């Protein structure tokens, strides 16, 4: 019996898995360097870790899994590495989309889609369109994503509404801003995991992370697996979530 299954059987529904887990998949380059391999091999093994994590998240009954697959700032990497990462995304969608659909996973994309290579744009759209009706795990792919950019997009949309006379500035609340984010219908992440030992958010889900529990694990992303996910969830369960109040609420 896995750690999470053992806890669940011991404490029932109050130990259901976190509804939304988000992951910063970090450490591909260091994993490769440690082995004298090219960074591209680290990214390739990172895709394998992603496949394992998707299966584990589905099996554990997680509702939403958000992955940081390419950040707005990743364009600063050398052109060859950017080509590798784009190639991996293309191959991942081409090779895995049928299996993802078969597994009843619904794909959502967040991030800036304008100015992307048209083929990448088409593949991202195809993934969303094909899986739209699925009812299992929601896989949110943050691609060409930066949280400050997302918030700026939301601010621009609201500013246009104000300029057009459709919205009074006094009506702009946190809830209203939330409705203009890239995927406003999704719940905020309960748990954000970052692999590789780095302890920062790097422009990932800054708005949505207001009350997320952050778990930093020393594992490099290519070594991440179901046991690592379960252990991060076990750490999350030990946290007391207060949401700014005083009364303790259990970790789920
Ligand atoms: C961080 O490792 C990882 C990324 C920048 C990209 C994450 C990408 C994958 C896991 C594979 C691609 C998957 C899809 C679906 C596109 P790093 O390169 O920053 O590692 P380092 O900090 O050790 O150098």
pLDDT at 73: 97
pLDDT at 5: 59
Does 44 sit in the ligand 1 pocket, CB within 6 Å? no
Mean pLDDT of the 72-78 span:
97
Please give the Cα distance from 114 to 101 (Å, whole number): 25
Ligand 1 centroid–CA 96 distance in Å is 18
* Cβ 54 vs Cβ 137: under 8 Å: yes
pLDDT at 245: 84
pLDDT at 115: 87
133 confidence band (pLDDT: 50, 70, 90)? very high
Query: Tens digits of per-residue pLDDT, 138-188?
Result: 999 999 999 999 999 999 999 999 999 999 999 999 999 999 999 999 999
Please give the Cα distance from 31 to 41 (Å, whole number): 9
Nearest one of 21, 17, 14, 22 to 204, comparing CA atoms? 22
Query: Tens digits of per-residue pLDDT, 14-41?
Result: 578 999 999 999 999 999 999 999 999 9
Does 69 sit in the ligand 1 pocket, CB within 6 Å? yes
Worst-scoring range by mean pLDDT, 73-82, 155-164, 179-188, 235-244?
235-244
241 confidence band (pLDDT: 50, 70, 90)? confident
Give yes or no: 74 in active site. yes
Does 28 sit in the ligand 1 pocket, CB within 6 Å? yes
Can you tell me which atom of ligand 1 is nearest the CA of 92? Answer: 15
Which of 16, 28, 59, 74 is catalytic? The answer is 74
* Cβ 134 vs Cβ 127: under 8 Å: no
79 confidence band (pLDDT: 50, 70, 90)? very high
Does 88 sit in the ligand 1 pocket, CB within 6 Å? yes
């Amino acid at each position: 019996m896995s750690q999470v299954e053992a806890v669940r059987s011991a404490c029932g529904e109050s130990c259901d898995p976190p509804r939304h887990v988000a992951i910063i998949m970090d450490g591909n380059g260091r994993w490769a360097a440690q082995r004298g391999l090219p960074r591209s091999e680290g990214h390739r093994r990172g895709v394998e870790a992603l496949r394992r994590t998707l299966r584990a998240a589905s099996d554990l009954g997680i509702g939403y899994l958000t992955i940081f697959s390419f950040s707005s700032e990743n364009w600063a990497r050398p052109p060859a590495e950017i080509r590798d990462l784009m190639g991996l995304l293309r191959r991942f969608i081409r090779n895995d989309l049928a299996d993802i659909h078969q597994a009843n996973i619904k794909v959502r994309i967040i991030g800036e889609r304008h100015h992307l290579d048209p083929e990448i744009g088409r593949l991202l759209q195809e993934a969303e369109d094909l899986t739209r009706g699925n009812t299992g795990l929601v896989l949110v792919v943050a691609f060409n994503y930066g949280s400050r950019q997302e918030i700026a997009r939301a601010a621009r949309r609201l500013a246009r509404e104000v300029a057009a006379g459709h919205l009074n500035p006094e009506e702009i609340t946190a809830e209203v801003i939330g409705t203009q984010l890239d995927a406003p219908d999704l719940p905020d992440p309960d748990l954000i995991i970052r692999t590789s030992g780095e302890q920062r958010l790097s422009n990932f889900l800054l708005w949505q992370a207001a009350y997320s529990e952050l778990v930093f694990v020393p594992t490099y992303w290519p070594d991440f697996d179901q046991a690592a996910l379960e252990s991060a969830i076990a750490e999350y369960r030990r946290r007391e979530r207060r949401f700014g109040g005083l009364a303790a609420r259990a970790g789920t």
